[in-house]
Amino acid sequence: MKVLNENTFDEEINKDKLVIVDFWAEWCMPCRMLTPILEKLEKEFTDVEFAKLNTDENPNVAFKYGIFSIPTVLMFYKGEVVNSFVGAMPESVVRREIEKAIEKIKA
């Protein structure tokens, strides 16, 4: 997963493909539970870009997108949020949310 910061965020989310961004923090136990799931799905969804942004180190981006609970996952296509979820979800739910985002951008 690509590590984003305030300098790289806007460029990365404005791609012509689905970009999944995990908003997380080092101290967050649910974040630590979600990371291996996203890393596994990154291998499955090879046409999707997976990235993470530490909210403690990049508070301006977190504030801009109204991130108050972590983990929060936002899915971007050409800079627009096309899907999202909050909290550590089971792999099946995360996969389904990614598939919904893919269907939305294909429509």
Residue with tokens 């990614």: 98
The pLDDT mean for the chain works out to 96
71: in domain: yes
Query: What CATH number is attached to the domain comprising 83?
Result: 3.40.30.10
Distance CA 94, CA 92 (A): 6
Catalytic (active-site) positions: 28, 31
pTM summary value: 0.95
Per-residue pLDDT reduced to its tens digit, 5-14: 999 999 999 9
H/E run at residue 65: none
Helix ranges, 2-90 (H): 9-13, 29-44, 59-64
Per-residue pLDDT reduced to its tens digit, 36-94: 999 999 999 999 999 999 999 999 999 999 999 999 999 999 999 999 999 999 999 99
**For the chain, what is the domain count?**
1
92: in domain: yes
Q: Which domain does 65 fall in, by range?
A: 2-101
Distance CA 53, CA 89 (A): 18
**What pLDDT shows up at residue 107?**
83
35: in domain: yes
Residues in the chain: 107
Residue type, 13: I
